[in-house]
Amino acid sequence: MKTTPSLRAIAAAVCVLSMPLSVQAQASLPASAAAAAAVSQPSAAAALKRYELQTNIVDGKMVFIDAKGQVNPVLAAKVGDMVELVLKSGEGAEHDLLIPELNVASSKFSANSGSTTVRFKVTRAGTFTYYCSIPGHRQIGMEGKLVVAGTSLAEAGTPKTAGAGSAAGESSQAAALALYTPAPSPMRGPDPSAVSVAANPAQVPSAIGARAPQTLKYRMETVELPGKLDDGTSFTYWTFNRQVPGPMLRAKVGDTVELTLFNAKDSKMIHSIDLHAVTGGHGGGQHTQVAPGQEKTVTFKALNPGLFVYHCATPLVPQHIAAGMYGMILVEPEGGLSKVDREYYVMQGEMYTGRPHGAPVHQEPNLEKMANELPDYYVFNGEVGALSKTHKLQAKVGETVRIYFGVGGPNKISSFHIIGEIFDKVYSEGSISSPKNDVQTTLVAPGGATIVELKVQHPGSYLLVDHALSRAGKGAVGVLEATGDPVPGVYHAGAVQ
């Protein structure tokens, strides 16, 4: 039997539908959640405190600046006031603003997205910290204080329906927090626009040899882009020149190097470069904190010969490195290096992801795993299969091969080894002055490098590995493909002939 709604019920429904959406939402919430939602609704008696904050870089630090130019200003309000914060990215990078003690969180904002506004009613007295929650930004200076005068509303006689720590009280706090906290990004499949970021190991600058010192000019671009981490898995890489590792640079002792770093306009982050070959200025990192769409230049003299790592030096530095921001610069000695038949450029790194290794998703970085040094992936040249499918090292029997090998890290040492070969010469820790001979496995620290040389005497597929061999299953495998006739007596299957 159908029941016809009464006129009173219909009228009530119409009233609800005609309410503003924020009021409708409160009507459908439990009393505790509705009370929390009411915090964001201004009352007629409340004073409106409006602040405009713009982000920028001052003296090498990221900061908030108010309309008067005050850095990380102290904001003032009274209990019961409505506070409105208008937020804008002055230098262009992506930011947000949180006041966790008051359950306040803005949406993310950048030069590309434009300004954002967050409004909240102050119900508690005290001093509260506001800050940017983008990894590394608070550590480099983005925090200030909100000072609230008066008596907290609860202390002024507001009825308490639940004691501190009770389930009802916690539920009310959770509801209020939900109003201000952006929803986490949903899991999504691999990005169809992802491209290979694997640097071609054969792209090594030509040898310099003996010559007078010169001035060299390099220009590099930092680019954030979706890349293929593995078959069916993508990741948002942060790169130098759209590749991992970044381009290999080559100079000679005594050269003057002018390096310009440009940060792509559509980047969300500030980026920089710290070259371990540079003396002074934090390796260049002090003066190359570059906002999206801008560029900066540093000049240095190549004082010491060797193979040196470079990497991004913008907080959170390990996050920038794990996302792919590392490479190497070779500084040749006075007379250059000995001639070899082939040179290759290989770097190892590790990656920390929100989903397990091999998950068919677009992976997000996991900073907790990074802090605890628990990588999901170990890679050569940026991605799984970079040196076994995308590219392979090639050589012929009788040729001498030199590999410039480094570890971007950010955390793990590599035990670099080639299965079926022995390194005839190893320049440990990138030091060119005193090579070692006849080495099976060489240790390379994060942020460190080595140069290995070997003469190929037998055809076959030689595997490049980190001899902490469980890492091979997480991606750290490459191939040196050797062709030609075997050298008699070096190796054959079966008994002595």
pLDDT tens profile 75-107: 999 999 999 999 999 998 999 999 999 999 999
pLDDT category, 152, cuts 50, 70, 90? confident
Residue 173 has a pLDDT of: 37
Specify the higher pLDDT residue, 433 or 11.
433
Residue 11 has a pLDDT of: 40
Phi, psi of 475 (to 5 degrees): 125, -10
How far apart (Å, rounded) are the C-alpha atoms in residues 397 and 474?
30
Distances (CA, A) of 46 to 23, 37, 39, 249: 18, 16, 12, 61
In DSSP terms, 81 is beta-bridged to none
Contact at 8 Å (CB) between 423 and 363? no
* 301 CB neighbour count, 10 Å cutoff: 16
Q: Write out pLDDT tens, residues 164-208.
A: 333 333 333 343 334 333 444 567 899 999 999 999 999 999 999
Q: How many residues does the chain have?
A: 497
Specify the higher pLDDT residue, 168 or 329.
329
pLDDT category, 57, cuts 50, 70, 90? confident
Residue with tokens 């940060």: 263
DSSP 8-state secondary structure symbol assigned to residue 4: P
Residue 100: asked if its preceding bond is cis (omega within 30°), the reply is: no
Average pLDDT for 363-390 = 97
Residue 248: closest CA among 351, 343, 384: 343
pLDDT category, 60, cuts 50, 70, 90? confident
pLDDT category, 436, cuts 50, 70, 90? very high
How far apart (Å, rounded) are the C-alpha atoms in residues 217 and 205?
14
Burial of 433 (0-12, 13-18, 19+ CB in 10 A): exposed
Written as one string, the DSSP assignment of 88-154 is EESSS--B--EEGGGTEEPPPBBTTTB-EEEEEE----EEEEEE--STTTTTTT-EEEEEEES--TT
Start-to-end C-alpha separation, the chain: 98
Secondary structure of residue 174 in the 3-state scheme: helix
The pTM assigned to this predicted structure is 0.81
How far apart (Å, rounded) are the C-alpha atoms in residues 438 and 58?
52
Residue 497 has a pLDDT of: 83
Secondary structure of residue 302 in the 3-state scheme: coil
Contact at 8 Å (CB) between 262 and 222? yes
> Does the pLDDT value for residue 128 go beyond 50?
yes
Beta strands in 333-380 (DSSP E): 342-351, 362-363, 377-380
Percentages of the chain per state (helix, strand, coil), in multiples of 5: 15, 40, 45
Residue 25 has a pLDDT of: 36
Phi, psi of 315 (to 5 degrees): -60, 145
> Does the pLDDT value for residue 14 go beyond 70?
no
Average model confidence (pLDDT) across the chain: 88
Q: Write out pLDDT tens, residues 292-312.
A: 999 999 999 999 999 999 999
- Chain centroid to Cα 495, Å, comes to 54
294 Cβ contact list (under 8 Å, min separation 6): 91, 92, 262, 263
Residue 375: closest CA among 416, 323, 433, 429: 323
Written as one string, the DSSP assignment of 449-483 is EEEEEEE--S-EEEEEEESSGGGGGGT-EEEEEEE
Average pLDDT for 464-471 = 98
Residue 153 has a pLDDT of: 73
Sheet hosting strand 256-263, strand order edge to edge = 295-301, 256-263, 215-230, 233-240, 362-363
Domains along the chain with CATH numbers = 37-153+172-180 (2.60.40.420), 215-483 (2.60.40.420)
Q: Write out pLDDT tens, residues 254-291.
A: 999 999 999 999 999 999 999 999 999 999 999 999 99
Residue 94: closest CA among 320, 268, 355: 268
Long-range interactions of 107-116: CB distance < 8 A, separation 24+: 107/182, 108/134, 108/182, 110/268, 110/292, 111/292, 111/293, 112/266, 112/268, 112/292, 114/88, 115/86, 115/87, 115/88, 116/86, 116/87
Residue 245: asked if its preceding bond is cis (omega within 30°), the reply is: yes
Q: Write out pLDDT tens, residues 344-354.
A: 999 999 999 99
Percent of the chain past pLDDT 70, that is, above it, reads 84
